[in-house]
Amino acid sequence: MVSDVSTTAGLDPLAQDFVQFAVDCGVLKFGEFKTKAGRLSPYFFNAGLFDDGAKLGRLAAFYAQRITDSGIEFDMIFGPAYKGIPLGATLAVELARRGRNLPFAYNRKEAKDHGEGGSLVGAPLKGRVLIVDDVMSAGTAARESIALIEAAGATPHAVVIALDRQEMATEGGQDVPYSAVQYVRERLGLQVCAIAQLDDLLQYLDTHSGMGLAAEHQKVLAYRNRYGVSNRE
């Protein structure tokens, strides 16, 4: 549990623009949604609804800008199946457009036993690898990606996600006092950056409370106070 915090100070313009973009696209919705952990969340983030070329292009620009701002250094991009595949591919295109052409690879859920075979597709995994995904719920996809990358002789170096929910992870059906992002950062040793965090969503709702979002702000804040952790470094 975290205590109530100010939601108006220290606005992150990139994060605020991203939250607005996600709302406009219907990717970020408010209501009552059951999470994998069985919690009733007052909001839901569905990156699968970035579902056309224009949306994916702008999403990639958000990823690219956040990565650039973070200062994270890496040698190639990896998109874990399934949602990470288009995210990693569009990020690679956007970075190339900005003058940084990097190798890209992804994995299949099931290995092929014909053709080139194996579970990896694209450029050979080598050097420092950036893993691209939408959200991080339990860190399972990150652990699977790390295993694949290390087995190929490369170094899992960092993870970039669209939204950090900043809430307690679960283990064995029980809440634990750290988030999936904290687990990956502190226990697996990877750098992690997110375009936006739950704190940024709260700031958005607070600054737009006069537009009919006051009730949503209170619900998300109550959820944050019950299940939240702080991931800001």
Q: Tell me which residues are annotated as active site.
A: 112, 114
Pairing status of strand 128-132 against strand 76-79: parallel
Size (the chain), residues: 233
DSSP characters over the chain: ------SSSS--HHHHHHHHHHHHTTSEEEEEEE-TTS-EEEEEE-GGG--SHHHHHHHHHHHHHHHHHHT---SEEEE-TTTHHHHHHHHHHHHHHTT----EEEEEEEEESSTT-EEEEESPP-SEEEEE-SB-SSSHHHHHHHHHHHHTT-EEEEEEEEEE--BEEEETTEEEEEEHHHIIIIIS--EEEEEEEHHHHHHHHHHTGGGTTHHHHHHHHHHHHHHB-----
Phi, psi of 135 (to 5 degrees): -135, 170
